[in-house]
Homo-oligomer: A and B are copies of this chain.
Amino acid sequence: MSTPSPPANLLDAKRIEALIDARFPQIHSGGRNLVIEEAGQRFARVRLKADPRNTRPGGTISGVAMFALADFSVYVAIIGSLGEAGFDAVTSSLNINFLARPEARDLTAGVKLLRLGRRLAVGEVEIYSEGAGDMVAHAIASYALPMG
């Protein structure tokens, strides 16, 4: 991506998406609704496309879909930082705060890794609803990293 000195194994958004598709095809069972827009050293941006599976009566997006978006986005930022070595990272905890009820529109998750140690990564996720100003959810996720 655009970091000053990318590691040799750094993958861009398209390449990460292709690799995840190959390894975890079930993520898209029922139709692709998670789209990696950007990924790189310690960051990622992922879009959740609104569709009948994640919208709810009254016109909102389900909390489960926001959890899935947050968890997946941190995973993408880890792979963007570590390359293929990041694929074996596993979620150890996730704390999510629901701040405002989103409309039934696409959501965008912006991830920043606050910590990327040898054993543990901690990512912060801000989720916004397309076309709206206020954050709709905020999450902190910890991932256990595979040891080299």
Closest to A126 in B: B114
B-binding segment of A2-10, A13-21, A62-70: A62-70
User: Distance (Å) between the CB of A32 and the closest chain B CB?
Assistant: 16
- CB-CB under 8 A from A92, the residues of chain B are 97-98, 120, 142
- Could you tell me which residues of chain A, from 95 to 148, have a CB within 8 Å of some CB in chain B? 95-101, 114-115, 119-120, 122, 124, 135, 138, 140, 142, 144
The answer to whether B26 and A56 have CB atoms under 8 Å apart is: yes
- CB-CB under 8 A from A114, the residues of chain B are 97, 99, 135, 138
Given contacts A68-B64, A97-B93, contact A144 B115 (CB under 8 A): no
| Copies of chain A in the complex | 4
The answer to whether B120 and A138 have CB atoms under 8 Å apart is: no
A122 and B135 CA atoms in complex are apart in Å by 12
A148 and B51 CA atoms in complex are apart in Å by 34
User: Distance (Å) between the CB of A140 and the closest chain B CB?
Assistant: 6
Given contacts A26-B57, A57-B24, A71-B63, contact A94 B96 (CB under 8 A): yes
Q: What are 16 pairs between A and B in contact, CB < 8 Å?
A: A29-B53, A30-B30, A63-B94, A64-B67, A92-B97, A93-B93, A93-B95, A93-B142, A94-B95, A95-B140, A97-B140, A97-B142, A99-B114, A114-B138, A122-B138, A138-B140
